[in-house]
Structure 1
Amino acid sequence: MSRAREDAGEDADAAGVEPAEAFGVVANETRLDILEALWRAEERPVSFSDLHDDVEMRDSAQFNYHLQQLTDQFVTKTDDGYDLRHAGAQVVRAVRAGTFTRQPDIDPFTVEGACTRCGGGLEASYADEQFCIECVDCGKSHGEYEFPPGGLVDRTDEETATAFDERVRHLHCLAADGVCPSCAGRIHTEIVRGGDCCLDVSLRAEHVCERCRNELCSPVGLVLLDESVVSAFYEDHGIDLSSRPYWTLPWCVDDEYTTVEGTDPWRVTIDVVLAEDCLTVTLDGDLNVVDSECVSCGG
């Protein structure tokens, strides 16, 4: 990062409001209603009168007071009316996601696939905003990741599992590309060997945002979900990789298919096996593909 960009980032932080002040501004039902009304609007900017009517607050002066408290930080004023700033939209999304308002409790349910270790059935469960998939027989984890409560609303079990799969793919592919899924800050990634891990693997990738400290970890193989060489390998076998839940792909959840070839620098190979063919993909310490080779593993 250039010195100028670092300075710009520091200036932006200095120019912002204190977190307590920012949260205090939106800790009001009327102000949340205003943000929701702007978020729902089919066309923006929204005029003062239309916004006032939508919020349904009798006292125009009181409504204007609350609107002005939101302006600049969460709402922007133009010649044509009012519009949401990114921060305002984020508040609405957080509310609708249930992050601060819901504590759902759902019964465990069966999901597609079999345990990569023992072949047993797989079951999904949800607690403390963590969605977990594990084997009902041996208990092996096939993933435990954050999932907002709103993702459970108005969905069947199958639809919830599909949404979870899509979310895991999206978040971890972003992280592997160096972009924080939460704040878009710079992600630092490293390969970690050993230690306790809820994913039940001995080798994992750890992603930590340098700005907001958001943390994600995954088996190293999960990064291959976004690699064209792997997608093409599946297509050559008549399979759409995106249609397969990640937890049904052994190289995504188990390190049996992962081999450490070196640690200084890191070189890790992952074997992706289909039918009688094996695609071996080599990654460096930044999880970049540096080589790949496809060979027949049939007799």
Structure 2
Amino acid sequence: MSHSAGNESVAPESDAGIAPAEAFALLGNDTRIEILQALLDEDGSEEPVSFSELYERVDIDDSAHFNYHLKKLTDHFVRRTDEGYTFRYPGWKVVRAVFAGTFTDRAELEPFDADGDCYDCGGGLQAWYAEERLTIACGDCGTVHVSYPFPPGGLDDRTPAELLQAFHHHVRHHYCLAADGVCPECMGKMETALSRETTYPGLDVQVTHECHRCHNRLHSAVGLNLLDNADVMTFHAERGVDLSTRPFWTLPWCVSDERTDVVSCDPLEIRLDISTGGDSMCIVLDDSLNVLDVDGCARPVGASER
């Protein structure tokens, strides 16, 4: 395995990939899915599982027929070793998604109360789940604070409060990765851009993350991308607020533009004023979300700018 540093590209030493259509065709068989499930049940991501152990778990009488389907999975989804069979990463990823209900389950939840107040009108927030998305919006004026895909398996065995906490971590994790240039879906390189051309009502400035490998795109207000910024986290921690657990949709600076100002149009620079506990800080960013300046001296909200 080769390693590189700086801006050098990495050329992984691996077997040639296969076309997406071929990959889906390989999985379009009940026996192969059963084999992957058996490998998952036997902890095939941790240690090799023998041919006989897999065969005993799959509902098939003909060992030659079983071996035929196992060989179809080998090399791309399953790795054969002297000790038995283990998952390759694509196989592990697919089977975990299938059995988590990502591709198979359907679920809906009627609106229920969510933490926080509307940044626009002060009304109470409600959450609901439909079409594989969890949405949190004002029950009075309808202003949407967040709407984001969430696997249906995430609803299992969770109370509404537990579901919202899991959703918070899910979205926060995705945007923290994206802000660091890592696609949360394929781990490819993500490009970040700040623009005054927005696709969502109520936003004057929008952040777009785009992965050119899998074409995943994330759009949001600026603040959502600063949840793991060291200065922002420290400012809140010193005032008793843990941004890793505080529901991000309860923070107006995180889900709206009400505390975002354009400092310069060419090049585009913006300032975000963040307040908590009666104090305020500001952070200035360029059009790639690089930090240009941080006002580290907390000042009372409403105090004049320098």
TM-score (norm 1): 0.92
Does residue 293 of structure 2 align to residue 278 of structure 1? no
Contact 2:77 2:87 in 1 (8 A): yes
Q: C-alpha displacement at 1:64, in angstroms?
A: 0.9
2:229 to 217, 227, 230: 227
- The reply on whether 1:148 has 2:151 as its aligned counterpart is yes
SS for the counterpart of 2:258 is helix
Q: How does 1:96-135 map to 2 (within 5 A)?
A: 96-135=99-138
Q: Which residue of 2 aligns with 1:30?
A: 31
Residue type at the aligned position of 2:133: Q
Aligned with 2:271: secondary structure? strand
In the TM superposition, what are the counterparts of 1:37-52 in structure 2 within 5 Å?
Answer: 37-42=38-43, 43-52=46-55
What aligned pairs does 1:71-110 form with structure 2 within 5 A after superposition? 71-110=74-113
Cα distance, 1:88 vs structure 2: 0.4
Which structure 2 residues correspond to residues 1-299 of structure 1 after superposition, within 5 A? 5=9, 8=11, 15-42=16-43, 43-197=46-200, 200-293=202-295, 294-297=297-300
Greater per-residue helix proportion? 1
Distance across 1 between alignment mates of 2:105 and 2:278: 48
**Could you tell me how far apart the structure 1 residues matched to 2:151 and 2:229 are?**
27
Size of the aligned set, in residue pairs, is: 295
Whole-angstrom distance in 2 between the partners of 1:213 and 1:228: 29
Deviation at 1:28, TM superposition (A): 1.1
- Name the SS of the counterpart of 1:161 in structure 2: helix
Q: Structure 2 unaligned segments of length 5 or more: list them.
A: none
Question: Quick one: distance in 2 between partners of 1:24 and 1:104?
Answer: 27
CA distance in 2, matches of 1:17, 1:241: 42
After TM superposition, the score normalised by the length of structure 2 is: 0.90
Q: What RMSD, in angstroms, separates the aligned Cα atoms of the two structures?
A: 2.2
SS in 1 for 2:94: helix
- Seen in structure 2, the aligned counterparts of structure 1 residues 252 and 274 have a Cα distance that, compared at 3 Å, is same
Q: Determine the C-alpha separation between the residues in 2 that align with 1:276 and 1:164.
A: 28
Q: Is the 8 A contact 1:38 1:44 kept in 2?
A: no
C-alpha contact 1:133 1:144 (8 A) present in aligned 2: yes
Deviations 1:255-299 (A, max 9, x none): 010111013222211111123311111112211222211332257
Q: Distance in 1 between matches of 2:119 and 2:7?
A: 48
SS of the residue corresponding to residue 184 of structure 1 reads coil
